[in-house]
Amino acid sequence: EAGVVQSPRYKIIEKKQPVAFWCNPISGHNTLYWYRQNLGQGPELLIRYENEEAVDDSQLPKDRFSAERLKGVDSTLKIQPAELGDSAVYLCASSLGFGTVYNEQFFGPGTRLTVL
């Protein structure tokens, strides 16, 4: 079974430039998460999707960040314009569902973003 796929693995951009990250979850997983992990910290949730609906985006900086999940499968996270503080690893995860305390999330390898 294929795991969560993310691309690109690494991205270096100048500040004020746009950037996009792509995620393909595990087949059949209805729930998709985007986390941001700053250096030396644990991941923090940015947005959660149930199928194609964003059901928790309270931590997403909406002035510059946007996300979409077309047809409830793949997802794209965009930053425009990027700032120096956006340098981090962006992790995508998926799970079969939610609503229980046991909710094993499967993570992708992440995209390491460096903003210069």
Partner 1 sequence: AQKITQTQPGMFVQEKEAVTLDCTYDTSDQSYGLFWYKQPSSGEMIFLIYQGSYDEQNATEGRYSLNFQKARKSANLVISASQLGDSAMYFCAMTGSGNTGKLIFGQGTTLQVKP
Q: Which is nearer to partner 1, 37 or 81 (CB)?
A: 37
Angstrom distances, CA of residue 74 to CA of 3, 6, 87, 115, 116 = 13, 10, 23, 25, 28
Residue type at 52? Answer: E
- Using rule CB under 8 A, residue 25 touches partner 1: no
**Contact code string over 74-103 relative to partner 1, x by CB under 8 A:** ---------------x-x-x-x-xxxxxxx
Number of helices (H), then strands (E), in the chain: 0, 11
Question: Among 11-19, 20-28, 65-73, 106-114, which window interacts with partner 1 (CB under 8 A)?
Answer: 106-114
Check binding of 39 to partner 1 (CB under 8 A): no
- 8 near partner 1, judged by CB under 8 A: no
Q: How far is the CB of 90 from partner 1 (least distance, A)?
A: 11
Q: How far is the CB of 55 from partner 1 (least distance, A)?
A: 8
Give CA separation, 57 vs 45, 47, 61, 64, 105, in Å.
8, 4, 9, 13, 18
